[in-house]
């Protein structure tokens, strides 16, 4: 009962054949961990799965439908965290989260504060993002992902700039997300500490 299926994905960046026949299937409650050296195409793969970069060949299916044919439905179910946090430095944490979540659904202030507490930056709620450290900003970005309430999380180096406590936070968030029936694709070298049936590994050359 795989919800996300990728078949034979190929992508070129100029001359480079970055993605060579990637295939996988992911079911609810599973997390796909993608590892690989720098430049092996992890970020490109994640962006291609989201639909930000067009694929030369291959198809991605979400809940049985081709993603290219029903992009709105797919994007509604998708929460993406890239290298950038996807937040405006000139707004406070609360403002950022409110505006980011409002793009998808109605959200109450209480929910936002709960999410900030969950990721450990509740005391930064009224601070401009510009004035926070890189680690704190990353935590706010993680709160953003939690607030999307999307079943599929696509995370590119979620623990970047985070201290060891932050890294275990990422593992916690993933574990509870998977337990609630969500699924995730994570590009990271960090050991995710998830039990074997939940964790699927893919190494890119």
Partner 1 sequence: MNARQEQVNAPAVERQPANDGLARAVVGLARRDLRVALRRSGDTLQPLGFFLIVTTLFPLALQPEVSLLRDIAPAALWVGALLASLLALDLLFREDAQDGTLEQLALCGQPLASLVLAKTAVHWLLTGLPLVVVAPLAAMALGVPAAALPAVLAALVLGSVTLSLIGAVGAGLTMGMRRNGSLLAMLVLPLVVPVLIFGARATAFAIGGEAVAAPLYLLGAMAVLAVTLAPFAVAAAVRIGLE
Partner 2 sequence: MAWVWFHRFGSPPYFYRVAGRLTPWFAWPALVLCLAGLVWGLGFTPPEWHQGDGFRILYIHVPAAWLSVQVYVVMALAAAVGLIWRMKVAHAVAASCATLGASFTVITLGTGMLWGKPMWGTFWAWDPRLTSELLLLFLYLGYIGLRSGFDDTARADRASAVLAIVGVVDVPIVNYSVVWWNSLHQGPSIIRAGGPAIAVPMLIPLLLMIVGFYCYFAAVLLVRVRGEILRRERNAQWIAEELAAPGAGVGSGGGSGAIAGTFQGASVPNSPAGHARI
Q: Site residues (CB under 8 A) for partner 1?
A: 1, 28-29, 50-54, 72-73, 75-76, 78, 80, 82-91, 95, 98-100, 102-106, 149-151, 179-182
Q: Which residues, 51 to 70, sit near partner 2 by CB under 8 A? A: 54, 56
If you search the block for the tokens 């893919």, which residue do you land on? Answer: 202
Binds 20: which of partner 1, partner 2, none (CB < 5-8 Å by kind): partner 2
Q: Is 16 in the site for partner 2 (CB under 8 A)?
A: yes
Question: In angstroms, how far is the first alpha carbon of the chain from the final one?
Answer: 28
Out of 15, 64, 110, 165, the only residue in the binding site for partner 2 (CB under 8 A) is: 15
The one segment of 11-19, 142-150, 161-169, 183-191 that binds partner 2 by CB under 8 A: 11-19
Tell me which residue has tokens 């078949």: 7
12 vs 73, beta carbon nearer partner 2: 12
Helical (H) or strand (E) element with 25 = strand 16-27
Strand partners, 9: 22
Q: Please give the size of the binding site for partner 2, defined by CB under 8 A.
A: 10
Phi, psi of 181 (to 5 degrees): 95, 15
Q: Which listed option, partner 1, partner 2, none, makes contact with residue 65 (CB within 5 to 8 Å by class)?
A: none
CA dist., res. 11 & res. 142, Å (int): 29
Rounded CA-CA distance 119/116 in Å is: 5
């Amino acid at each position: 009962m795989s919800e996300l299926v990728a078949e034979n994905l190929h992508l070129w960046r100029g001359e480079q054949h970055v993605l060579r026949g990637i295939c996988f299937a992911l079911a609810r409650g599973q997390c796909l961990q993608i590892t690989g050296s720098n430049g092996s195409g992890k970020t490109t793969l994640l962006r291609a799965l989201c639909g930000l970069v067009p694929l030369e060949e291959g198809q991605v299916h979400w809940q049985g439908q081709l993603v290219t044919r029903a992009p709105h439905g797919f994007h509604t179910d998708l929460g993406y965290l890239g290298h950038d946090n996807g937040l405006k430095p000139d707004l406070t944490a609360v403002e950022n989260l409110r505006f980011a979540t409002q793009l998808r659904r109605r959200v109450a202030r209480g929910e936002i504060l709960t999410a900030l507490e969950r990721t450990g930056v509740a005391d930064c709620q009224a601070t401009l993002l510009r004035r926070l450290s890189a680690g704190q900003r990353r935590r706010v970005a993680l709160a953003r992902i939690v607030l999307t309430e999307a079943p599929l999380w696509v995370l590119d180096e979620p623990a970047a700039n985070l201290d060891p406590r932050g890294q275990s936070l990422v593992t916690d968030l993933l574990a509870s997300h998977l337990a609630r029936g969500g699924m995730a694709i994570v590009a990271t070298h960090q050991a995710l500490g998830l039990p074997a049936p939940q964790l699927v590994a893919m190494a890119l050359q």
